[in-house]
Structure 1
Amino acid sequence: MDDPVFVIHGVGNRDEEGFARTVAGLRAATGLGLVPVYWGDLGADDRYVDLALPRRTPPDTGLRDEAGAPPDPETAAVLESVLDAPAPPDAEEPPPALADALRAGLENNDDGLRGPGGPDPDDVLAELAELWPEARWLSRVDDPGLLRAAGTALAAAVTEEDDSWDGLRGGGDGRLRALLRRRLRDLDRVAGAAVEAVAGRVNRQLRAHYGPGATRFLGDVLVYQRHRAAVHARIRERIAAVDPELGGGPERPVRVVAHSLGGVIAVDMATAGEPLWTSSLLTFGSQPAYFHLCDPRGGQLSPYAGEESVALPRSLARWTNLWQPLDPLAFAASRVFRLADGTPPADVALPHTIGAGLWTHSAYWRLPEVAEAVREAFAVPAGRG
């Protein structure tokens, strides 16, 4: 009978029973004797982390929206347009979409004001071109719909002036420039207030969606770095409860599956001065290479010097590393490490599935590709189980 395969969870796991159920599901899918190794009670105390999150009170712009409501697609597109645009120090004239809408509004108004005494579109555009560098927010916008709306609003402001047009065509410090400056500043303030309001909502939504996972990841990493020995002792305790001889030497190595920070733990233990001898390791969504590059792990591992890969000891004989393209916490291992036989760990990219969503760090457990990779890593035929 094959020795069991021990499964080490990653960050943010505070539910021992739930983790056991997850491992049971993977056990059923693979036919392997998987044993859960739980250490989450040693992780970070994140009950009060909300106290460290900044709270921003937006200025009273007069704009109101439903708290927490997601931006509509058009508003989100405008926000993206503004935030992605480069800083415009050399923006010398309004973009064509705004200028065309302004000209059309001046030429097509039907309120009787257009005529020999009405505003000349070329004069208005010339004045606006001189004022355009003062537009902080509108000058960053490349969304045609928003620019056309701004041009139409400027045209309406000019054509609705009910005084004689002679006074507005003075140029320089004339009334046309003063009127355009006021309206341009008003529109620019509204655009800026809208962007800040939407950006604030997006910030809150991103924190709500990704914040708990990111917070627990950082918290557990900090705790593990300071209390590594306690976590390692817990894992050795769980293994010894199955068989005290497992992992103690090359004659009885362990087999390990590990997710996220669990992969860092498994590599640390397999390469320690007194290693947990590991015949086969499968990691997914994990960071051993990243951690070692940033802060060499010690034990039997030498720092990466920028040329040759870091040699892994014989106590880690085989390593398969899975990663998802949309998992920001998954890192490759093959370009940083090499096994004792001279081969690199096997990095395996998993296909992204729509059902996994945009945050895939916790989605591995449900992927059939992971179960298949586990079977292959531990040489269990696909039809077994």
Structure 2
Amino acid sequence: MTSVVFVHGTGVRAKSYEKSLARVVSGLGRVRADIRVVRCFWGEEHGASLGLDGASIPVRSKNRGAGGDEVLDEDDPLAVWALLEVDPLAELREFAEAAKARRGGGARAGFAPGRQDPWQAVADTARGLSLEAVSDGGGSLDELVADLAPHLGPAGGRVAREISRTLGGTPPADGIEAIAARAVYALAVQRAEGPHGDEEPLAVDGADRDTVVGALTDQLGGAGRGGFMAGAAKGVAVRALNSYLSPLSSLAHTFRGGITEGAVPASGDILRYQVRGAGVRAAIRAAVRDTVASGDGPVVLLAHSLGGIACVDLLAEPDPPAGVELLVTVGSQAPFLYELDALTALRRGEPLPGAFPRWINVHDEQDLLGFVGEKVFPGRITDLRVNTRQPFPRAHTSYFAHRRLYELLAPELPA
């Protein structure tokens, strides 16, 4: 039986590691029944923390100017999802403003006695949205549905109130179904990740996200989703996309303390590894040693992000752990650090040691923290590209929810 030692990346602690481990076990189990997944959790003992309760974080003074005037492209669906990550209702509000502008002002239109407000039906449907019929038979889509289900009702209710408040009394307009569906989805994800983002970001494949949004759109009465937006909804997001970036810079300063503390596990682990990385490498070495000693066949290291850097450093040491037949790095920066001459055990210009195992490197082009290595180590590394259909930074955390990843790895894993 082949053993896959799963090494996590930066910012991961006990709860999120267990979730990622479960995804890997499930994903590999679907494509290779002969795989045993072995734990290698180093975050608790060797990860970073603010030892002085954030005493180094400055208090922002008032009247500090906001910066940034870049704009996002309305024709890029990832740009819209990036906006909804920040404000799930932004697109819906812009739709309402456009609806009011089309009838020439903000005054509500009158209705004949007994006529139902056309937006009320949409609002009522939003309150009763369900994902009970959405399934892929136990895969990543079912996991996403399970994560979102407890939050769908409150999210639908919030969108329903926004529709009634901003669109009530305006004439009917095309395109609300998909916009409302995206708003419900984005709110449900936000709620699932905690009010302050204190839960691990959901690892969501873009195809699963689109399936869920499509199901919600269908329930809302939408049709003909040939493009990302339809009818009067086309172009609605551009004003919101362009108007949100400058305020975001100011908000980031205003809430810097909370943002910094929340970012410590992710960014702090990277900084700590550069000067205290021996502990992480020792934890991986111990996991490999114990796995080899158990006699469960070939050993594979499957490592995400910073975990991939640590594995490359470990396997490039003069005395690497014996028994590793394959290294799989996912969303890793190891080739980039080699080019920067920033790896611990391998200087730029030095080749990989002769005993270095076969190396497969997985990346997503939307993941700004994922790099390629075939031109860095010619003939010693194979790059595999996946497409989670997620914007950054979610693209970096969604690899292990992506079914295609396991399909690509299945024939590569030793028997």
TM-score, structure 1 as length reference:
0.52
Unaligned runs of 5+ in 1: 62-71, 81-195, 381-385
Q: Deviations over 1:11-41 (max 9, x none)?
A: 1110443343233223323322221211111
**In the alignment, which of 373, 377, 387 is matched to residue 333 of structure 1?**
373
Whether 1:229 and 2:281 are equivalent positions in the alignment is: no
Which amino acid is 1:12 matched to? G
Q: Distance in 2 between matches of 1:336 and 1:205?
A: 41
TM-aligned CA distance change 1:210 to 1:4, over 3 Å: farther
Task: Please tell me whether the aligned partners of residues 11 and 261 of structure 1 are also in contact (alpha carbons under 8 angstroms).
Answer: yes
Query: Which string of whole-angstrom CA distances, capped at 9 and with x for unpartnered residues, describes residues 25-65 of structure 1?
Result: 2332332222121111130115845962763634799xxxx
1:159-308 correspondence to structure 2 within 5 Å: 198-200=247-249, 203=252, 215-244=264-293, 254-277=299-322, 278-299=324-345, 303-305=347-349
Which of these residues, 387, 397, 407, is aligned with residue 362 of structure 1?
Answer: 397
Which protein has the larger Cα radius of gyration, Structure 1 or Structure 2? Answer: 1
Cα distance in 1 for residues equivalent to 2:292 and 2:256: 44
User: Do 1:240 and 1:246's aligned partners in 2 also have CA atoms closer than 8 Å?
Assistant: no
- Report the CA distance between 1:296 and its aligned residue: 4.2
User: What's the TM-score, normalizing by structure 2?
Assistant: 0.49
2:372–2:383 Cα contact (<8 Å) kept = yes
Q: Confirm or deny: 8 A CA contact 1:16 1:38 kept in the other structure.
A: yes
In structure 1, give the amino acid aligned to 2:60: R
Label 1:366 to 1:356 Cα distance change in 2 as closer, same or farther (>3 A). Answer: farther
Cα 1:319/1:210, change in 2 over 3 Å = farther
Matched, 1:5 2:4: yes
Paired residues of 1:23 and 1:35 also in contact (CA < 8 A) = no
The whole-number CA distance in structure 2 between the counterparts of 1:52 and 1:59 is 16
Q: Could you tell me which amino acid in structure 1 is paired with residue 29 of structure 2?
A: A
From the superposition, tell whether residues 298 and 202 of structure 1 become closer, same or farther in structure 2 (CA, over 3 Å). closer
Q: 1:357 deviation in Å?
A: 6.7
2: CA distance, partners of 1:220 / 1:376: 33
Residue pair 1:304, 1:336 contacting (<8 A) in 2 also: no
CA offsets, 1:251-273, max 9 Å, x none? x8732111101111111111101
- Whole-angstrom distance in 2 between the partners of 1:213 and 1:370: 29
For 1:378 and 1:312, locate their aligned partners in 2 and report how far apart those are by CA, in whole Å.
21
Deviation at 1:282, TM superposition (A): 1.0
For the 8 Å contact 1:23–1:36, the answer to whether it is kept is no
- % identity of equivalent residues: 25
In the alignment, which residue of structure 1 is the partner of 2:48?
Answer: 44
Distance in 2, Cα, partners of 1:16 & 1:77: 34
Shift of residue 371 of structure 1? 0.8
Counterpart residue identity of residue 17, structure 1? E
CA 378–50 in structure 1, closer or farther in 2 if over 3 Å, else same: farther
After TM superposition, give the deviation of residue 303 of structure 1 in Å.
Answer: 3.0
Q: Is the 8 A contact 1:356 1:363 kept in 2?
A: no
Cα distance in 1 between the residues matched to 2:294 and 2:11:
30
Match of 2:381 in 1: 345
Equivalent residues of 1:335, 1:344 under 8 A apart: no
Aligned pair count reads 239
Letter in 1 for 2:381: P
Matched residues in 1 for 2:381 and 2:246: separation?
47
The answer to whether the Cα contact below 8 Å between 2:306 and 2:333 also exists between their aligned partners in 1 is: yes
Deviations 1:282-333 (A, max 9, x none): 111001111222234354xx5334xxxx421232231111111111111111
Q: 2-side partners of 1:75 and 1:223: how far apart?
A: 41
AA aligned to 1:372 is: E
Query: CA distance change for structure 1 residues 273 and 368 in 2, over 3 Å: closer, same or farther?
Result: same
Shift in Å at residue 7 of structure 1? 1.1
Question: Counterparts of 2:320 and 2:310 in 1: how far apart (Å)?
Answer: 12
Decide whether the 8 Å contact of 2:7 with 2:301 is kept in 1.
Answer: yes
RMSD between superposed Cα atoms in Å:
3.8
Q: Offset of 1:236 from its aligned partner? A: 2.2
Separation (CA, whole Å) in 1 of partners of 2:258 and 2:347 = 36
Q: 1:349 to 1:78 in 2, by over 3 A?
A: closer
Specify which structure has the bigger relative contact order, considering alpha-carbon pairs within 8 angstroms and separated by 6 or more residues: 2
